[in-house]
């Protein structure tokens, strides 16, 4: 049987520990092609490069895998992969990550990892973004492998609703084993930002973004609860941001 074609990208850069883990797992499932940023692109959201050059260079960083490093954003990487690298070949699956840090709740809007996956979904391809909720420099990714393979294999076999990308988050490595997988919703949680005003050696003012992540959600059916209770969270996401429930209300109440 023909091996499935799997496109791999990320936002932490092509040399990151997370993408190396993801590539190793995907090689067990199919033919892997990597197009990933040549430098970290965390927090880029769904930015694309307009008005500047995009560079794409082939690299042998992954043994036995066709791979390219790109000067652009994660979304740029998926676009270039589809239109230039793969040309007439269509990926059976797009995967992004493994991100070094959480992408639960509202963080999906800022996430370059998930933007690569959502770009795949926009093009009608099954797509998954993987993230590990551990920011430590020596974070252990080993416990994610079994679940990455299980989720990716299920998507390859059963498919996804067109336009849907999965946002998968893993709890950090703990003494107890992961309890399982929870298919759930995005938690009602957000960052409460603070901007620290500082001055450089020349006396020019600048700001440094800080703040805390605050969870307002008391439910037990969301990604934040799942991670806190040692489950893998899987949130199906769409790129249509229309508030459909508001359309009829506005049509009834607005006199415009």
Q: Is pLDDT at 61 greater than 80 in this prediction?
A: yes
Report how far residue 78's alpha carbon sits from residue 74's, in angstroms, rounded to the nearest whole number.
7
Report how far residue 168's alpha carbon sits from residue 173's, in angstroms, rounded to the nearest whole number.
15
Tell whether 148 is covered by a domain: yes
> Does the annotation place 88 within a ligand binding site?
no
The answer to whether the pTM exceeds 0.85 is yes
Tell whether 82 is covered by a domain: yes
Tell whether 204 is covered by a domain: no
Q: Read off the pLDDT of residues 185-241 as tens digits, 9 standing for 90 and up.
A: 999 999 888 999 999 999 999 999 988 989 999 999 999 999 999 999 999 999 999
Q: Read off the pLDDT of residues 129-170 as tens digits, 9 standing for 90 and up.
A: 999 999 998 999 999 999 999 999 999 999 999 999 999 999
Q: Is pLDDT at 69 greater than 90 in this prediction?
A: yes
Sorted by sequence, the CB contacts under 8 Å of residue 158 that are 6+ apart come out as none
Q: Are 48 and 122 in contact (CB under 8 A)?
A: no
What's the CATH code of the domain at 108? 3.40.1210.10
Tell whether 175 is covered by a domain: yes
> Does the annotation place 38 within a ligand binding site?
no
Tell whether 208 is covered by a domain: no
> Does the annotation place 134 within a ligand binding site?
no
Share of the chain above pLDDT 90, in %: 93
> Does the annotation place 12 within a ligand binding site?
yes
Q: Is pLDDT at 1 greater than 80 in this prediction?
A: no
Domain count, the chain: 1
User: Domain residues for 248?
Assistant: 5-187+219-253
Tokens of 222: 């969301």
DSSP, res 106: G
The CB density around residue 254, as the number of other CB atoms within 10 Å, is: 7
Tell whether 194 is covered by a domain: no
DSSP string, 199-214: E-TTS-EEEEEEEEEE
Report how far residue 36's alpha carbon sits from residue 77's, in angstroms, rounded to the nearest whole number.
6
């Amino acid at each position: 049987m023909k091996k499935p074609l799997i496109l791999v990208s990320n936002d932490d850069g092509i040399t990151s520990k997370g993408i190396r883990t993801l590539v190793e797992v995907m090689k067990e499932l199919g033919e892997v092609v990597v197009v990933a940023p040549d430098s970290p692109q965390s927090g880029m959201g769904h930015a694309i490069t307009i008005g500047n050059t995009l560079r794409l260079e082939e690299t042998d960083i992954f043994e036995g895998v066709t791979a390219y490093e790109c000067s652009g954003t994660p979304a740029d990487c998926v676009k270039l992969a589809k239109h230039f690298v793969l040309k007439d070949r269509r990926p059976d699956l797009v995967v992004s990550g493994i991100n070094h840090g959480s992408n639960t709740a509202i963080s999906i809007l800022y996430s370059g990892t998930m933007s690569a996956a959502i770009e795949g979904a926009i093009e009608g391809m099954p797509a998954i973004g993987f993230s590990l909720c551990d920011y430590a420099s020596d974070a252990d990714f080993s416990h994610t492998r079994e679940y990455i393979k299980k989720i990716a294999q299920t998507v390859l076999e059963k498919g996804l609703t067109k336009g849907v990308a999965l946002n998968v988050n893993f709890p950090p490595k703990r003494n107890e084993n992961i309890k399982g997988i929870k298919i759930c919703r995005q938690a009602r949680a957000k960052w409460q930002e603070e901007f620290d005003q500082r001055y450089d050696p020349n006396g020019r003012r600048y700001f440094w973004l800080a703040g805390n992540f605050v969870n307002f959600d008391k439910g037990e059916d969301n990604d934040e609860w799942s991670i806190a209770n040692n489950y893998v969270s899987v949130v199906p996401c769409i790129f249509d941001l229309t508030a459909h429930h508001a359309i009829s209300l506005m049509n009834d109440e607005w006199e415009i």
